[in-house]
Each structure stands twice: as C-alpha cells, then as structure tokens.
Amino acid sequence: MDNREIEILAIVVASAILLSQSLPLVAAVGLKDRTHVHVIVIFKDKPDSQLIQRYQGGVNYRYKLIPAVAASLPENAITRLKKNPDIAYIERDYEISITDTDTLPWGVDRINAEMVWNGADGGTEVIKGRDAGSGINISIIDTGIDYNHPDLAPNYKGGYDFVNDDDDPMDDNGHGTHCAGIIAAAFNQKGIIGVAPEANLYAVKALDSKGKGYVSDVIAGIEWSVNHKMAIISMSMGSTSDSTALREACEKAYKAGVLLVASAGNKGYGRDKDMDTVTYPGRYDSVIAVAAIDKHNRRASFSSTGPEVELAAPGVRIYSTYPGDRYSIKSGTSMACPHVTGTAALVWYAHPEYNNTQLRERLHDTAEDLGPEGKDNEYGYGMVNAGEAAYVRAQDTDTTPPGSISNLEASSVGDTWIRWAWENPQDADFGYTMLFLNGNWIGNTSNTYYHAYGLTPDTSYSIGTHTVDVSGNVNETWVNQTVKTKRTTVAASTSTFSSSSIPSISIPHISYKPPSPNSFSSFKSYSSRKKPSFSYPSVDVYRKTRMYNYNNNNYNQRTYFRNDASTSTSTSIIKKMNKELFHQYVKDVQEYEYTATKRYRLQPGE
C-alpha cells in the first residue's frame, strides 16, 4: 500500500469517527430494535419526542388523540424516565391479537350439529373427545374442491378429475367447494364450521366449469369412491333423464356398504302438487333424496316433491366456502344434500357398528317431522336432526372425573369486559371446561381463556368452572374467581344535564349539550399540590381537575360541575346533582395526591 492509499484510508476512518460522534444516540436505535422495550409514554402536557431521544429511545408514533408517544426505550431508561416530572405514566406496549372464531351457519345450527361436537347450542368450537366425524371418508362428486381454501385444506385428502382425466380435482366453478364447506369446513377459528368438521374430504370432479357433465363421468366417480373405500358419496346434482347404467352403479355401491346421498332437485311442484319432480340419481331407491327448507322450516318453493323424498335439510341462503379463500351464499337442494351427508358422518362415527342400511334408518327415526304427520312427499321423514341421530348414551366403564383447572386469574380487566385465563388439567382424557358466569352456564371450551364482553362498569362478576373428560365424567369441584369491572369516568362538562337516579357517591349517567363559546365571563387557571378545602361552593363554577397518584402511577382527569341554586328553575334537582358530584370530587382528592385545577365562572343564567 503506497502513501497516497494510506492517506486516503486515514481520511475515511477519521470521517467515519467524526460522523459517528455527530449523530444523535437515537440513530443507533431501530424502531423495531428488540434490545429495547416497546412502551407507551403518556405526558402530563404535550408529548416531547426530544425527551425520549435524550434517554436513548426512539419514537415510533406520536399521538394526537392523547398526549402520548409510542417509543422504544432501554429497560434502565424507563425507570429513570418515570421519575421525570413531565411524565404522567409509562406502560408496556403489549401485543394484542384477534379474537376471531368460526361462524356457525344457520343450517348447521338448525340441524343441531354443534350439539354433537360442542355440546352447547350455538357453539363454534370442536371440543376434544367429542364426535366431529373424524376419520369418516366422504367423496363429493361435483365440480371439484378448492383444496387450498383455509377452511377445507385441513380435511382435504385427495381425489380425481374425470372431466380432465387427471389427479387434480381443483374446482373451476364453485359449486363443489360450497358443498364441501357445508359438510366439513374445519374448526380453525376463522371462516365457517361445517356439519362434520373433522371428516375426510375427497373431491371427485365429474362436472365442468359450467356445472355440467356426463353420466359416464358420474359413474366413474362412483366406481372410484367404492375402490377407494369411501363411506359416503354426496351428489348435489340432478337430471330428469333416467339411466340404467347410473342406477346399477348406485345399487352396486350401496350393496358394497356405501351410503349415497343426493339432492332431490329444484323442479318445485311441477304442473300440479301431486306430480313427482324428484330428479336422478336422488330418485333411485339406493340413494337418499334430500329436499330443501328455509329458516322457518318451510319447504323451499323450488324444492322437488315426490315419494322418493326421504329427508329435508336447510337449503335457502346457505353461507359456505367458495374458491379463492372466499365465501358465498347459495340456495338449492344442492345445499340441503351436504347437511345430510355431514350428519351421516357424525352418526357413523358415533355408531361404527352400523351398516349403511342401519345408518339410513337412524336418520329416518330421529328426523324432526315436518308437514303432514309421518312421511310425506315434501319433507320425507322430516328435517334431519344431527343432535338426535348422533347421540350415544355413555356406556364407558371409566367413572373417574378429570382434575380441575388451575391458576385461574383475570389477565385483563376493563370497564365492560374481563378476560380470564387458566391452565387445563394434565389428564390424558381431559375433554373440556364448563363455564359459568354468576352461576349461569354459558358454554363449554377446551381453550385456556374466556373473554366476557358487554359487562356493567364497577360491577363484580364471578366465573365458575367444572371440568369434563371424554367419557363424560364431570368434576363438580368449583374453581372460581370474582373480579370487579373498572369504574367508568363520566365527565359532566356542561351546564345542561339530567339524570333519572343518582347513586350516593358514584357519578351518575349524564346527558348534556356543550356550552356555547361565550358561556365564560371570566377565566382563572392555577395548579396546586395542596389538598383543596371541602366546603361546598355557593357560586357557579365549572371546575376541570386533573389528578395524579404517584403511588400506583394512576392518572385521572374528570370535570366537576357546580351551579348556584339561585340560577336554576329546578333548584332541588340541581342542588342534589351538584352535591353528589362534590362528594365524588372529595373522594377523588382523598385518593389522588396531586391536582391541577382550572376554574371557569359562568355567566348568570347559563
């Protein structure tokens, strides 16, 4: 290296040193630097970003709604910054997450499928150890399945495309994906949940992108299903033309032990009410033909009728999966058919000893009779009832209940909500926890948390729990906790308000209208660290007080309103209202150590 190169290198190094010395410390702190702690710094007055930088911190966001900044600070800097007189308080910027859950479509709810895998009416969580159709193989002969859909991917196991003659039965229409979601949309805390959310789905594509296909491909799909040991074949399709070959294929599959379910058709009554409009293959004796009903348990106007109708199920405005991670609402007996298919999966899981004929009879016997008494041409034996059909009386010899939950605590509390968390017992056969709020059963969960919403501020709530194992044994030992919601701070900030009832000390709910800008004839602002006197004011005063408690880093700002009785026509009401607010003021001052007060004198009559 020659002298010139050495000289240039020396200049570069010196420049780098000077540059590093001139940069503020905050430049070395990335906004997402994990060596720093993410906090929210609340100031007593205006936010000061330079103050954060002097403590080797970085400002991520400066708020306008509140006097605060989101920042990243070293741990030791937080302790020192808390002592700064300009800081009201500092809190950790903790992570929050969505509290999403599966949507329970009305059809799944109507046939009581959730009672099988959850045990609670309206439940959306598959409880461990309960029947969700796990391991039951179902082939859906249709337009294919979007096997990448997040609600279907967990249960998709394979299939074949007879339209394009390959092993990629991707749905290019949407109909098959919609039917698949009704049958077995997975429990994954998003999207929807199906009738049998743990059943195995196989896509057999026999219909093209327009929803049309040849009988030959349907027959090939039935054959594929038999050869691949499918338990149930679901066919939401129909034709007014009979086919001897299709009839024989269905009969052979049924004799092989497969249960076949199909839509009854969308031909309505036809020319007259007694006309048989059920389409093929639902019209065959070896196939269960399913009619459609609406939310009022009435036959859908489009639903075909005839003596071959065996069962009815929801088929009007059914919300289900659709290609491209989407969802869609569709109507038709095509939507009713999968409800029966999913129910059959639940029953076969509950009764593995059944053959397909016994399973079929079980569906008949437990259906909810609709229309004329007994079997009829519109509803068949009635609406399928998964809750009844899949019910099994416990015959387990295990009589030992599981352990109780542990470490139950309120992880966070607000004025209208409480979030409880706990640890589940370690029993291998633990099933779920029964939850009770103030003594009332509210549902079952296998999770380790419960979030109660819509609560009343400043009110105590008790959560109680029992645990249940997979055999149904209940541990009736109560594990509970009582927590009080936070008190809501209500600001009475004007000269017009009303209240129907006033507690002895707490601030009442107030309705009001803002005062006009010219309401104040004089203004005085001052700050004091002394306790104010507790004499009741006799003049009109609009008092805004800000208090801070150094012991628990709690900050409170409330507006207190005063009115001289002589300036109001409702003397008794105003005086009582003001007295209660005054008592609240006294209580707050006793609890807080520092007050910064602003007073405004109102014009007479305001």
The catalytic site residues sit at: 142, 175, 334
- State the Cα torsion 572-573-579-582 to the nearest 10°: -140
For helices 244-255 and 215-227, the axis angle rounded to 10 degrees is 10
Going by C-alpha positions, the residue among 389, 362, 443, 383 that lies closest to residue 107 is 383
Amino acid at 27: A
Tokens standing for 44?
Answer: 């007593």
**SS3 state of residue 432:** strand
Going by C-alpha positions, the residue among 502, 542, 550, 538 that lies closest to residue 521 is 542
Contacts for 530 with CB less than 8 Å, ≥ 6 apart: none
> In whole angstroms, what is the distance from residue 189 CA to residue 186 CA?
9
User: What are the φ/ψ torsions at residue 303 (nearest 5 degrees)?
Assistant: -70, 130
Tokens standing for 293?
Answer: 């009903």
**SS3 state of residue 121:** coil
Answer yes or no: are the C-beta atoms of 118 and 130 closer than 8 Å: yes
Q: Work out the angle at residue 28's Cα, subtended by the Cα atoms of residues 26 and 33, and round it to the nearest 5 degrees.
A: 95
Going by C-alpha positions, the residue among 496, 497, 477, 593 that lies closest to residue 545 is 593
Tokens standing for 514?
Answer: 């803002």
| Residue corresponding to tokens 């309705």 | 511
